Chains A and B, each alone.
Chain A
C-alpha cells in the first residue's frame, strides 16, 4: 500500500495540468477528469481505510536514513490523515458533481476545474506530508487556488473578499514560515517526527513557536479572533467552492495541521491546551451570535462554520487538557472522538447547506433571505435536503449532528468543564434558531415575488444534494462501535498516543 501514497498528490496535480492543456481542445474535459480523479481518490481512500493498519510511510526519492536522521521527504498516512483524506475526496466528489452543472454561467469555466483540482492536490499534500516545510508548500498551493476561486465571479464584492482573504492569508503564511524558520534554527530538521524527538529544548522557545503556529493556522482555520476573513470569502465564492472551503479547506489546512502540530510534533502543554479550548469556546459563541442576525443566506452559513469549528476545537481541546493533566484517558478519547466526529459531520452538512444555498441562488438569482420565501413547493428536493441539513447542524435526532453534539456536551460535563458544556448548549439553541430562520424565510412563508427568471435545478445538482442528505442520516451510524472502529477510532488513537507518531515514522 505504501507505494500508493504519492498518488494523492500526483493524480490531482497531474490532472490539473492535463485539464489546463487538453481542456482547450475537448469540451467538458475538465469536468469529466475532475470527477474521475475524485472518484479514484475516494476509492483509494476507502481501500486505505479498510486494508491498512497503523502508520504508513513513503519516502520520496528513496534516500535511506543516515544513522537515524531522516533525509528523504516523508509522506505519512495515519488514522487522522485517512479521516481527512476521506472527507476531502467524498465531499470533493459530490461538490465537483454539483459544480458540473453549476459553473455553466462562468466564461472561464475550464479554469475553475483546474483550480479545483489544484486545491485538492494542495489539501491532500498537507494531509499526507510528514514534513513541516512541505506542509507549508502545499498550504500555499491550496490557499492560492482558493484565493482565485473566491474571486472567480469577478464581481466587486468577490474581488474585495478575495483581497481581504489574500492579505490575511499571507499574514498567516508569513507567521507559519517564521515559525518553521525558528524550528529549523532550533532543531536543524524539518521532519515532524524528527522535530518531536529533538525538541526537548527550551520551554520558552517551544511556547513561542507554538503560539506562532497557533496564530498562523488559526487564521487559516478561522478561529476567533482570526476569523474575520471567512464570512466574506466563504459567502462570495461560487457556492460549490464555498462548500469546499467551509466543508473541507478550513479543516485540512487549519484544524488538521493544528492537531498534528500540537499532538504529534510538540509535547502537549497545559497552557496551549487551555488556550486552544478557550479560543474554541469563543469561536463557538461569537460565530453563533454573528450568524443569527445575518440576512444573506451564505453569510449566515459562513458564520456558522466558525461556530461549528468551535465545537470541534472544544471537543479536541478538552481531550488535550485531560491528557496533559493526567485525567481519565477514556474521557479524553471520548471527547476527541466527539470533536473529530463533529468535524466529519460538519463537512457533510455544511457542504450540503452551501449547495442548497447555491441551488437557491441558481434558481432565483438571489440569496437575500428577505427576498425569498415559499420555495418549498417549487424546489421540493432543495427544500427537503436543506431541512435535513438544518436539522443535522442543529443537533436534532436522528441526524448525525445530534450524536456528535451529544458526545461533546457529555464529554465536557464528564471532564467537569461545565461552563463549556453550557456554552455548547446555548450555541446549539442559537444554531437551531438561525436555521429555523433560514427554513422560514427561504422555504416557507409567503412568496415575496413571482420569481421571474426561475430556473429548474439540473439533475447532477439534485443528485449530489440527495446523496449528501443521505450521508447526514447515515453518518449517525458512526456512533456504533464497529463502524466507529473502522473510520474514527484510528484517528483518535493517532492523536491520543502522542509519542507513537515519531516512533512509527522514524522507527
Chain B
C-alpha cells in the first residue's frame, strides 16, 4: 500500500514550512527541495508499480474523505512518474542556477508546493479536489516569476489573469458536469457532446485544458512568461508541468469524461493545426531565444492536441508520447537557455555566437534537444511525430468531413515540423556556431548541478527515440484505451534504424579521418580587402527577415505585433470599452444619482405592480 497522501500533502506542508526558513539560507532550502523531490520520485515509482484502481486516502477528518479519493490508472501513473522526474531534475538545476542570483522570493517554497499540487491534480478522482489543486498551480505560477520591473510584472499579471480566468471557467464546467451527471467522480462520468449543456461543459473544460497547456487562442501568456521568468521557472511550469497537466486534462476529456462527436473532433483538429502553424511562424521571427522557445512550447502543443483529437488508440498514444517527449526536450531547452543566459547575461541570439567550444556540454545537449524537437530520427520527437502522422492517415478512412480533410491536417503538421527545424537552425547556429564574439572569451561551462540535468534529459531524448518501439511504448503506454497501439503495422522500427544511422555517422567520421577533408584553409570572409566590421557580420536572424516581407504574411505579422490575435488584449479592450461607457454615466453629480434612485424605484414599481 503506497502512502498516497504523502505525495500530495507532504510537499505542500514542506513548502509552508520552507517559508519559515529565512531567505539567506537559500542553499539549505535548495538542498531540502532536492531531497523532497527525490523522495517524491521514489514514491512515484511505487505508485507506478501499484495496481490500478481507486484508492481512499487515509484521512483523520472523516467529512472530507469522499473528496480524497485517488484515481490510479495508466494515464495518471504515466503523468505522475514524469511530474516527479521533472521536479527532481529542475530542482537540481535550480540549485545551481539561482545561486548568487537575486531571485524570486521564497522560490523553493512555491516550487515544493507546486509539486504537491501537481500530484494532487494528476491523481484526483474528485473534480472538486482536482480544481483545488489545479488552482494552486496557477497561484504558484504567478509567484515563480519575479515582478521586479514593468515587463516582468506585466507578464506575471497576464499569465495569472489567463490561468485564473480559465480556472473560473473550469468551475462553471464542473458545475455543468455535476448538473448533467450528478457526480463529481471522474471515473463515473461519461457524457456525449450532444445537447447544449454537454457542449457548454465540454467547451469549459477544453478552455481550461488548453489555457494550461498553452494552445491557441489561449497561449499568449506562455511567450511573455518565459521571456521574463527565471529559466528554471520556465522549464518547470510552462514547459513541463503545465503541459503535462493541461494535456492530462485534455486526455481525460477525450478518453473518459466526454465521448466526442464529429464537431468536437473538428474543433480540436482546427485548434491543433492552427496552433502548430501560427506559433511556429511567430517563433521563426523571434530574436530573443527565450521567447523563441516560448513560441515553440506553444507550437508543439498543437501536435498533442491533434493526436488526442484523433480519438483512435494510436492517436491518443501518439499525443501522450509527444507530450512526454516535448516535456523532455523543451524542459532541456529551457535549462540550456538558462545556462547560456547565466553565463553570458545575453538574451538576443544576434549578440551571441561561437559558444560551442566554451560550453561543449550545453552545446551537445542543446543540439540533441533541437534535433529532437525538429523531428530528426532517431530522436524521440521524430518517433512521436511519426506516430501522429500515421494516426492522421488512419483517421482519413472515417466517414465524416473531418476525416475527409486528413490530407490538410497531415500537410499542416508536416509543414510545422519543417518550420521548427528552420527556427532551430537559427538558434543553434546563432548561439553556438558562427563568429566568436571576443566579449565572451572568459565564459566557462556551467557547474555540475546545472549540466547534469541537461545531460540526463538529452540522454533520455536519445533513449526514448531509439528504444521507443521496444521498451518505452510497451511499458509506459500500455494502458486501457491505448494498449496495442504500438503493435500496428508500418510503425518505425527505431532500434534497427538507429543502428543504421549510427553506422553511417561512424562511416562519415572514418571518411573524414582518412581523407584529407580536414586539411582545408580557414579564412575570414573576403570583402574587397576591407577589415571585417561588426555590421558585415551576418546575423543568423537576418536570413529570416525575408519571411516577414511577403505581402500576405507581413499583414499577419503586423497584426500580431499590434496584438490583434491576443485574446488577453482583445478581452482587455472590450472590458475597458464597457468601463468607459459605464464610467461616463457615473458623473459624480448628486442630482444625477438621485434621478437614478427615482428611476430605479419607478421601474421596479412599473414592472411589478
The residues of A with any CB-CB pair to B shorter than 8 Å are: 163-164, 167-168, 171, 175, 204, 207-208, 211, 214-215, 218-219, 225-226, 228-229, 231-232, 271-272, 275, 286, 289-290, 292-293, 374, 376, 391, 394-398, 402, 405-406, 409-410, 412-414, 416, 418, 421-422, 425, 428-430, 432-433, 436-437, 439-440, 443-446, 480-482
Contact = CB atoms under 8 A, between A and B. Distances in A.
The 5 A-B residue pairs with the shortest CB-CB distance, nearest first, are A444-B147, A413-B175, A444-B153, A293-B579, A228-B593
A312 B164 CA distance: 21
A402 B596 CA distance: 33
B593 A436 contact: no
Contacts of B139: 391, 396-397
B604 A214 contact: yes
The SS class assigned to the B binding surface is helix
Task: Tell me which of B61, B136, B154, B164 has the highest count of chain A C-beta atoms within 10 A of its own C-beta.
Answer: B164
B127 to A, nearest CB: 10
B210 to A, nearest CB: 16
B150 interface: yes
A316 to B, nearest CB: 18
B63 A168 contact: no
B136 A397 contact: yes
8 contacts: A168-B594, A168-B597, A171-B594, A231-B586, A272-B608, A397-B133, A410-B178, A429-B164
Nearest to A208: B609
A487 to B, nearest CB: 15
The SS class assigned to the A binding surface is helix
B161 A211 contact: no
A440 B135 contact: no
B575 A219 contact: no
Contacts of A225: 596-597, 599-600
Given A395-B168, A413-B172, A440-B147, 8 more contacts: A167-B594, A218-B600, A271-B608, A395-B171, A413-B179, A414-B178, A429-B161, A446-B148
Contacts of B135: 396-397, 402
A259 B133 CA distance: 35
Contact of B593 (A229, A271, A394, A481): A229
B95 interface: no
Interface string B585-609: 0101010111011011100110111
B606 to A, nearest CB: 10
Given A398-B132, A437-B157, A440-B157, A429 B168 contact: yes
B164 to A, nearest CB: 4
B149 A446 contact: yes
B575 A433 contact: yes
A270 B585 CA distance: 31
Given A397-B135, A445-B149, A432 B583 contact: no
Given A168-B594, A422-B172, A432 B586 contact: no
Interface residues of B, number: 61
B596 A228 contact: yes
Contacts of A214: 604
B64 interface: yes
B167 interface: yes
B75 interface: no
Contact of A211 (B164, B588, B604): B604
Contacts of B580: 293
Task: Tell me which of B131, B147, B197, B576 has the highest count of chain A C-beta atoms within 10 A of its own C-beta.
Answer: B147
A301 to B, nearest CB: 16
Given A429-B168, A436-B160, A289 B604 contact: no
B578 interface: yes
A440 B594 contact: no
Contact of A286 (B153, B157, B165, B582): B582
B166 to A, nearest CB: 9
A183 B239 CA distance: 66
A157 to B, nearest CB: 10
B579 A480 contact: no
Interface in B114-140: 128, 131-133, 135-136, 138-139
Interface of B: 61, 63-64, 105, 128, 131-133, 135-136, 138-139, 147-150, 152-154, 156-157, 160-161, 164-165, 167-169, 171-172, 174-176, 178-179, 197, 200, 572, 575-576, 578-580, 582-583, 586, 588, 590, 592-594, 596-597, 599-601, 604-605, 607-609
Contacts of A439: 147, 157
Contact of B171 (A163, A208, A374, A409): A409
B175 A421 contact: yes
Contacts of B156: 436, 440, 444
B414 to A, nearest CB: 37
Contact of A436 (B105, B161, B171): B161
Contact of B63 (A290, A293, A482): A482
Task: Tell me which of B172, B178, B586 has the highest count of chain A C-beta atoms within 10 A of its own C-beta.
Answer: B172
Contacts of B153: 440, 444-445
B60 to A, nearest CB: 12
Nearest to B143: A387
A168 B161 CA distance: 36
Nearest to A288: B575
Nearest to A293: B579
Nearest to A410: B175
A65 B526 CA distance: 113
Contact of B164 (A167, A275, A292, A394): A394
A374 to B, nearest CB: 8
Nearest to A446: B149
Task: Tell me which of B157, B174, B176, B572 has the highest count of chain A C-beta atoms within 10 A of its own C-beta.
Answer: B157
Contact of A215 (B176, B593, B594, B600): B600
Contact of B601 (A211, A286, A445, A481): A211
Contacts of B157: 436-437, 439-440
Contacts of A175: 601
B147 A376 contact: yes
Given A290-B583, A445-B153, A211 B605 contact: yes
Contacts of B604: 211, 214-215, 275
A409 B172 contact: yes
A404 to B, nearest CB: 12
Given A429-B164, A429-B165, A432-B168, A290 B586 contact: yes
A225 B133 CA distance: 38
B154 A440 contact: yes
A164 B105 CA distance: 44
B172 A425 contact: yes
Contacts of A272: 608
Task: Tell me which of A225, A430, A481 has the highest count of chain B C-beta atoms within 10 A of its own C-beta.
Answer: A225
A292 B594 contact: no
B597 A219 contact: yes
Contacts of A433: 161, 165, 572, 575
A204 B605 CA distance: 11
Contacts of B583: 290, 293
A204 B132 CA distance: 48
A428 B132 CA distance: 16
Contacts of B147: 376, 439-440, 443-445
Contacts of B607: 275
A215 to B, nearest CB: 5
A397 B121 CA distance: 13
Contacts of A409: 171-172, 175
Contacts of A421: 172, 175
Task: Tell me which of A164, A292, A430, A432 has the highest count of chain B C-beta atoms within 10 A of its own C-beta.
Answer: A432
A414 B174 CA distance: 11
A443 to B, nearest CB: 8
A403 to B, nearest CB: 9
A289 B582 contact: yes
B61 A480 contact: yes
A376 B146 CA distance: 11
B596 to A, nearest CB: 5
A396 B167 contact: yes
B597 A432 contact: no
B197 to A, nearest CB: 8
Contacts of A422: 172
